């Protein structure tokens, strides 16, 4: 298959409610769409590094190390050299670029063109995301928990964002409504070891599956497990290009955000290393729009079929992108801003 046309677009989608990015918040999601055509098909991928500015005008830290502008620059330079060549040339750029979101997007595009991902198939479900919206009344949160399907057996809860007392209360409120639920807590490295111990000591341990990146310092996660017995998961640690899998006491899961990890080959390597060591591998979003979420569902079905992915972020988006998730409005490429085209 030959790359006949390549078109790069940008999108900007306002959010109906603020979304948490670690301990920060965003009110708009921005990113890119790369669309290509061959002799027989047309495919598009979302490339949206989780970087930029939060609602307070501060740089988003702890996630993507590249900016959208850097991705645009590399793509605009690379697109002319790809046109007219075999789709395998996409992997040449993916293999060499230091930009994780670009490596992911190009390797994903290659997989889609080769038919390696089963798109347009619903996954077994998603893990609902529970967090208190800004200035949200507690009864509204209770209504959302009450509205969860009886088929939902686990939820993800953001912690380390407000006061410790409020978040302990939140966890107990959720379990009072649905005592059958198992909770996956996501702390985004919010706690010192002492704070994490104090926090976890107040939790119903039997209801906690694990806590993601609880401590400022990754080495303290093991000490937390040895002190209170709550297993932990790694998330932000995996975004470091130098990360090498190392089995640790208490490590129970890798939470994998492909947009931050990079090439699909690296993603697969991490999944295989986790599986060999009896560690769960859970695909999670980097707040992608619906085009990106569709791809993550397909990746989860293909690579981690026994795990329900953590992809419950689309409810905050005011519209869909290319692929409809059921929202009233879905942006087409004609609604996006064209940056560069080779045809």
Residues identified as active-site: 158, 257
Query: Strand ranges (DSSP E) for 5-47?
Result: 5-21, 24-37, 42-47
Query: Residue 237: in which H helix or E strand, if any?
Result: none
> In the chain, where does DSSP find H-type helix?
68-82, 89-96, 100-113, 138-146, 164-177, 193-200, 219-228, 258-261, 264-276, 290-303
Sign of CA dihedral 180, 182, 186, 191: positive
The CA distances from residue 294 to 184, 186, 217, in Å, are 23, 23, 33
Count CA within 13 A, CB hemisphere, residue 8.
Answer: 24
Phi, psi for 47 (deg, rounded to 5):
-125, 105
177 by DSSP, 3-state: which? helix
Q: Rounded distance, CA 2 to CA 68, Å?
A: 27
């Amino acid at each position: 298959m030959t790359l006949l046309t390549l078109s790069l677009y940008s999108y900007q989608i306002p959010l109906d409610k603020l979304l948490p990015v670690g301990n920060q918040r965003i009110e708009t999601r921005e990113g890119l769409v790369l669309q290509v055509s061959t002799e027989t098909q047309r495919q598009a991928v979302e490339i949206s590094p989780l970087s930029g500015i939060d609602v307070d005008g501060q740089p988003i830290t702890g996630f993507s190390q590249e900016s959208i502008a850097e991705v645009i620059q590399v793509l605009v330079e690379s697109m002319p050299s790809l046109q007219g060549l075999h789709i395998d040339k996409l992997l040449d750029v993916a293999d060499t670029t230091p930009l994780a979101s670009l490596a992911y997007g190009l390797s994903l595009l290659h997989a889609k063109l080769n038919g390696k991902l089963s798109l347009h198939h619903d996954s077994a479900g998603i893990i609902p995301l529970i967090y208190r919206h800004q200035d949200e009344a507690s009864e509204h949160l209770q209504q959302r928990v009450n509205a969860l399907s009886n088929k939902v057996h686990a939820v993800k809860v953001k912690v380390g964002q407000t006061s410790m007392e409020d978040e302990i209360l939140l966890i107990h409120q959720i379990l009072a409504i649905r005592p059958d639920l198992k909770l996956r807590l996501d702390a985004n490295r919010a706690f010192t070891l002492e704070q994490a111990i104090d926090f976890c000591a107040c939790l119903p341990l039997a209801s906690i599956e694990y806590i993601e990146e609880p401590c400022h310092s990754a080495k303290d996660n093991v000490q937390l497990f040895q002190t209170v017995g709550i297993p932990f998961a790694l998330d932000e640690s995996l975004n470091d290009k130098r990360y090498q899998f190392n089995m640790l006491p208490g490590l129970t899961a890798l939470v994998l955000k492909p947009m931050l990890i990079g090439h699909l080959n690296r993603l697969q390597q991490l999944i295989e290393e986790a599986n060999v060591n009896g560690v769960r591998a859970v695909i999670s979003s980097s707040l992608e729009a619906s085009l990106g979420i569709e791809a993550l569902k397909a990746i989860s079905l293909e690579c981690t079929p026994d795990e329900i992915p953590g992809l419950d972020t689309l409810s905050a988006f005011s519209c869909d992108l290319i692929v409809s998730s059921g929202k009233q409005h879905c942006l087409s490429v004609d609604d996006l801003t064209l940056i560069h085209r080779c045809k």
